[in-house]
Amino acid sequence: MKKIILNVLIILFFSGCISTHNSNSEKKHIQKIKFINSQEAKKNNYPFSEATIVNNIIYLSGQIGTLKNGKLIEGGIKEETRQTMLNIKSVLEKNGSSIENIFKCTCMLANIKDWPEMSNEYRKFFKNDLPSRSAFAGSGLALNARVEIECWATK
């Protein structure tokens, strides 16, 4: 009896080690990455892509309140936030998306005291649902900007 039980256990053990996957029928999911750079970004020779797209998710690099000429808009945090959001909107629309498809933002501020005014201007770009968001202050944003915002959006 012990011999029968031992043989059954050995058979069960080895049957669990046999691969049941047929490599020909398995679909391998390969994620293709698309790197996005506008003519302005290429001209400015930034050390990063303006955005990347993976599986219909657009990952925007941090945007700041620059104008078409590459200079930071003047006027303070409110104007910078507005221009930053307009820049985000532009990148999304050029890539088949929109502000409404944003589901996550990270806001970086040069001074955390600017958070209320930045938040008020930021809210104006969303009709109903607000994306999840993180915000923090650091020292030294690009071009001495007061705010930098990166976003994730569906295509």
* Domain-located, residue 22: no
* Domain-located, residue 15: no
What's the CA gap between 150 and 86, in Å, rounded? 13
Residue 23 Rama label (left phi>0; alpha psi -120 to 50; beta): alpha
Task: Look up the domain containing 77 and give its range.
Answer: 33-154
Give the chain's mean pLDDT: 87
pLDDT digits (tens, 9 = 90+) for 86-132: 999 999 999 999 999 999 999 999 999 999 999 999 999 999 899 99
Closest CA to 99 of 70, 137, 128, 74: 128
Domain count, the chain: 1
* Domain-located, residue 25: no
CATH number of the domain at 139, please: 3.30.1330.40
Q: What is the pLDDT of residue 64?
A: 98
Contact 87/66 with Cβ under 8 angstroms? yes
